[in-house]
Amino acid sequence: MGRERIRPGRVIDGFTVGEKLHEGGMAEIFAVTKPGCDLPLVMKVPLILEGDDPTMIVGFEQEQMILPRLSGPHVPKSIAIGDFSREPYIVMERIAGSSLLERFKAAPLPVSDVVEIGARVATALASLHRQDVVHLDLKPSNIMFRDTGEAVFIDFGLSRHLKLPDLLAEEFRVPMGTAPYIAPEQVMKLREEPRSDLFALGAMMYALVTGERPFGNPKHSTKALMRRLYEVPTPPRVLNPAVPGFLQEIILRLMEVKPDRRYPSAEQLAFDLAHPDHVVLTERAKREKTHWMRNFLAGRLGGAKAPLTRLEAYRHASTAPIIMVAVDLSESGEPLNEPLRDIVRRLLATAPESRLACVNVLKTAVIGLDQLTTESGESVHVQRLVELKGWAADMRLPPERITFHVLESADPAEAITTFAKNNHVDHLILGARGSGGVRRYLGSVSTAVVAEAPCTVTVARVPAVEAETASAA
């Protein structure tokens, strides 16, 4: 049987599970209690079912890594983390207030309410960005308000910590976010820009004051989202004449295609919302129609490359050199485990600032259906992730220096080389199992990787004596 589903009454690591509060497409939320803890608590548990998107598993890992590093009134307090090897969960403070989603149902709201909501969220964003985190999935259901008034962000599964490895960007090359609010640079797969959150806030303020989403409800496909690189919304005052010039100025500035034309920081946005008389009005405040060609030229053709270059430079400057090791977790790959670890240890010792990416490829069928669960009902992806962490446990690296990735592909060599290219890997290490006649004829994964990898490659082999012994056996 697979992992036991969480049910009321079960005790996990001292936490007693109470009623289920919410079930979404990716996780369940339960009320929990623990002796000696007076803080209201919830436990978030990922839904891991056959056929689930691997991004859900990686996103939950990302949230487990980020949430404990955050503090202040604008995030839930992290209490405990459960590992995938036993029971994956996050226990955190239960926010007693209401969700912004409830206010959306009443839109359009009075201007004063929209300004107040915007100011509270901007203040919370300023705190989040000061802690080196970009949320990247701001939407009404991910923003709550404490009874004392502070905005609180929840669900950090798509977030980016600028001083930690970005598991999602390293493993997946697709735009990530919620389609009605995703920023243009996110469509371009850039995840380092704090002003992406300002764009999302502008889109929400637009909907709150007009009653309509600025881009409707577009399909979450790359083709549909590419329109975000030049598409600009109808000015809010066209839909709601009661919108004052200063608020239209703020909203349209937040939703500029180019990040450097938005507010430079959440602090400056909060100031303008608190002092509307100080807002400098430009042509945005008076705009009454959408100038499609002007915005196409200024947004897409004239400005897409500059932020990209700056952000890529930032990423290279802030990310340590990456060493990648491709680990074969099958029984036939076991003799290579120690030779691989030995090479990795020596490389890490000579480059103390480097970071290790441990990769395993879950080979999928070219034609037909794949078995995505084990005989006991466990997710194969999760099982591989646990085994990969076990392989690296003896190296005792701190979390900021090691990441784990299970790639799904019909072509392991292509998956390994693509990962190395996409993540600017400096040194790739993998094993070669043998040199039998069939492998010489058809080629091997290691041969293909050596031929195509964009970086230095070290191939580990089983020592000759051990290989002869294994052959004789």
Q: Identify whether 279 is part of a domain.
A: yes
pLDDT for 216 equals 84
Q: Identify whether 164 is part of a domain.
A: yes
Please tell me the pTM assigned to this model.
Answer: 0.77
State the helix-helix crossing angle for 195-210 and 245-254, rounded to 10 degrees: 140
Q: Domain range spanning residue 168?
A: 99-314
> Are 338 and 421 members of one domain?
yes
Q: Identify whether 335 is part of a domain.
A: yes
Please say which residue of 288, 314, 340 terminates a domain: 314
pLDDT for 440 equals 47
CA-atom Rg of the chain in angstroms:
25
Please say which residue of 73, 93, 113 terminates a domain: 93
Q: Identify whether 1 is part of a domain.
A: no
pLDDT for 3 equals 59
Q: Identify whether 2 is part of a domain.
A: no
pLDDT for 72 equals 96
Percentage of residues in the chain having pLDDT higher than 70: 84
Yes or no: say if 230 and 299 are a contact pair by the CB < 8 Å rule: yes
> Are 117 and 76 members of one domain?
no
> Are 157 and 287 members of one domain?
yes
Rounded Cα–Cα distance for residues 292 and 311 (Å): 27
pLDDT for 78 equals 96
> Are 300 and 329 members of one domain?
no
Rounded Cα–Cα distance for residues 402 and 404 (Å): 7
Please say which residue of 93, 111, 136 terminates a domain: 93
Ranges of the chain whose pLDDT falls below 70: 1-4, 49-53, 219-221, 290-320, 365-377, 434-443, 464-473
> Are 288 and 378 members of one domain?
no
> Are 61 and 113 members of one domain?
no
pLDDT for 426 equals 87
Q: How many domains, the chain?
A: 3
pLDDT for 220 equals 64
> Which is nearest to 106 in space by CA: 95, 96, 117, 97?
117
